[in-house]
Amino acid sequence: MFKANQNYLRLQGSYLFSTIAKKVAAYTEANPDANIIRLGIGDVTQPLAPVIIDELHKAVDEMGKKETFHGYAPDLGYAFLRDAIADEYKGRGCEISADEIFVSDGAKSDSGNIQEIFSEDAKVAVCDPVYPVYVDSNVMAGRSGEWIPSEQRYSNFIYMPCTEANNFTPEFPKENPDIIYLCYPNNPTGMTISKAQLQEWVDYANRIGAVILYDAAYEAYITEKDVPHSIYECEGARTCAIEIRSFSKNAGFTGVRLGFTVVPKDLRDADGVSLHDLWARRHGTKYNGAPYIIQKAGAVVFTPEGQKEIRAQVSYYQKNARVIYDGLKDAGYTVYGGVNAPYIWLKTPDHMTSWDFFDHLLEDVHVVGTPGSGFGPSGEHFFRLTAFGTYEKTVEAIDRIKSM
């Protein structure tokens, strides 16, 4: 008789955002008149920018003509998009060439899949709290060890607590990891890292022979000068870092799907094996390329007109972040994040558990957020709100929370 992948049996419950969606659906069914405001999952609400819509229309028309029709996309992405991305890196002083960029259907897929190119016994370090995909994908791959219910953690992972005490920036772990996941600006805390601090991580990774998987999905939200937009702004990152980027949060592509991963050619394992070659091999075998239409739309993001329009959208969400941050502060909450990120991380009042606070908000004021403990044990007694709602609903949600 066949056996299922036993690693999957170690996963805890369902994916965090699916659990929340189910809870909200059950509540809505029981309370059909409740006017729910969703500030839970980080999904955008503003329509795609006009310049992107125009390009999508043009590309669709091209697909309808024999002369301009496109079949399979190149596995690693069209040159027009990879060149545009490489130029953006160059503009930031990062030495990344177009053939080190792998276009994909989004940062979630890449951050879940990237672990496949590492050995099964690689020691994984994650921030705590953390975007659940990094943890779950390594559980599926068999790297987690057992779940320890009393500690709400897996036995084989290295958890790097990000707490108020360390200003939500992890310290180097006591035990040396092989793979280190970092996400800045951070999901879920909305906090970030200075260039000097990130440089220390790069130096550390090079020193111990680890690789940093750097998720920069929220870089468009950086407002402060000293915050790096890319890990490749740090010296030595080419020999220790892979960077994952998204078009979801900067250009509203959550429903369109586009992202990319950078794997420098200098990045080699202990035996000199090129991670770039392995990721290319994986892409070639398991992926037929993001659609032409979508890649055309993605390339527009890097044009001056595209930049102007998407910057306006990012500013819209940044304004929401300010409404949430200031409103909660006024109401006496302890609040973090929101300055360089679209997430606000608040401390639950009266030491309530994250899930109790979730229920409290849902039932009393019909506002949905994300319980901090869903991101890891150090997220307990915290709660995440997203700035990706509409301005009107964000203002209303905060008014409702203030009235509690």
**Which residues of this chain interact with ligand MLT, rule CB under 6 A?**
41-43, 108, 131, 187
Q: Nearest to residue 222, comparing CAs of 236, 238, 211, 233?
A: 233
CB 257 to ligand MLT: min, Å: 11
Closer Cβ to ligand MLT, 292 or 358, answer by number = 358
3-state helix, strand, coil in the chain (%, to 5): 45, 15, 40
Beta bridge mates, 37: 367
Question: Cis omega (within 30 of 0) on the bond before 170?
Answer: no
Nearest to 135 by CA among 189, 201, 179: 179
Q: Quick check: 179 and 115 in contact, CB under 8 A?
A: yes
Contact between 353 and 381 under an 8 Å Cβ cutoff? The reply is yes
At residue 115, φ and ψ (nearest 5 deg) are -60, -20
Residue 265 φ then ψ, to 5°: -70, -20
> CB-wise, 202 or 220, nearer to ligand MLT?
220
Q: How far apart are the first and last CA of the chain?
A: 56
Q: How far apart are CA 314 and CA 39, in angstroms?
A: 16
Q: Which is nearer to ligand MLT, 206 or 394 (CB)?
A: 394
Which of 118, 52, 23, 1 shows the shortest CA–CA distance to 366? Answer: 23
* Residue 172 vs 316, nearer CB to ligand MLT: 316
For ligand MLT, the closer CB: 73 or 133: 133
Quote the least distance from Cβ 131 to ligand MLT, whole Å: 6
Residue nearest to ligand MLT (CB): 42
Smallest separation (angstroms) from ligand MLT to the CB of 343: 8
- Helix (H) or strand (E) holding 87, with range, is helix 79-91
Q: Which is nearer to ligand MLT, 186 or 206 (CB)?
A: 186
Q: Which among 156, 148, 130, 160 has a CA at the least distance from the CA of 12?
A: 148
Q: Least distance from C-beta 254 to ligand MLT, angstroms?
A: 7
User: Between 94 and 258, whose beta carbon lies closer to ligand MLT?
Assistant: 258
Question: Bridge-partner residues for 183, per DSSP?
Answer: 215
Q: CB of residue 108 vs ligand MLT: minimum separation in angstroms?
A: 4
Nearer to ligand MLT, 38 or 238 (CB): 38
Instruction: Reduce the DSSP state of residue 246 to 3 states and report it.
Output: strand
Taking CA atoms, 8 is separated from 36, 156, 377, in Å, by 33, 15, 20
Q: How far is the CB of 16 from ligand MLT (least distance, A)?
A: 8
Alpha helices in 222-274 (DSSP H): 248-251
CA-based radius of gyration for the chain: 21
Kindly tell me which of 42 and 389 has the beta carbon lying closer to ligand MLT: 42
Scored b (16 or more CB within 10 A) or e, 36-53 reads: bbbbbbbebbeebbebbe
CB closer to ligand MLT, 187 vs 295: 187
Least distance from ligand MLT to the Cβ atom of residue 385, Å = 11
- Other residues' Cβ atoms within 10 Å of the Cβ of residue 281: 13
Minimum separation from the CB atom of position 18 to ligand MLT (A)? 11
Min CB(377)–ligand MLT separation in Å: 18
Nearest to ligand MLT of 206, 386 (CB atom)? 386
The least CB distance from residue 42 to ligand MLT, in Å, is: 3
Compute the least distance from the CB of residue 268 to ligand MLT, in Å: 30
